Structure 1
Amino acid sequence: MQNAQGMKSWRKLAVAAFPLALAGCITIEAPDEPIVIELNVNIRQEVIYRLAEDAGNTIEDNADIF
């Protein structure tokens, strides 16, 4: 029973020490250019939806024209 607990403790220690071993290998640098997030897709979908709804209402209101 003590051996199993010793193995669990050793594993916990190894898991905790692993990121420390890699800490010197990882470097993070900021990009030279700003990050651009384009939201045009959602805006276009909303505009198209509103236009389609408006067109449907116009057709219903003026059924004799169409």
Structure 2
Amino acid sequence: MIFENIRNLREDNDKTQQEIADYLNIKQTTYSKYELGKINIPIEVFIKLADYYDVSLDYLTGRSKNKK
């Protein structure tokens, strides 16, 4: 669910993996592994993604369907 949420948010906002990786100051390959669920996402990255997309951490992690 988490991995789908971050991919869907990126695609819904017409962003590339590279654009989000640049925002997070990480390599695109690392971000790709986040979306594929191949590596764990650090809490700092979750916070930055929630801020970037203006959604709650609960929404980002699939605990809530409410974006705020």
**TM-score (norm. length: structure 2):** 0.20
Please identify the structure whose Cα radius of gyration is greater: 1
Larger RCO (CA under 8 A, 6+ residues apart): 2
**TM-score (norm. length: structure 1):** 0.21
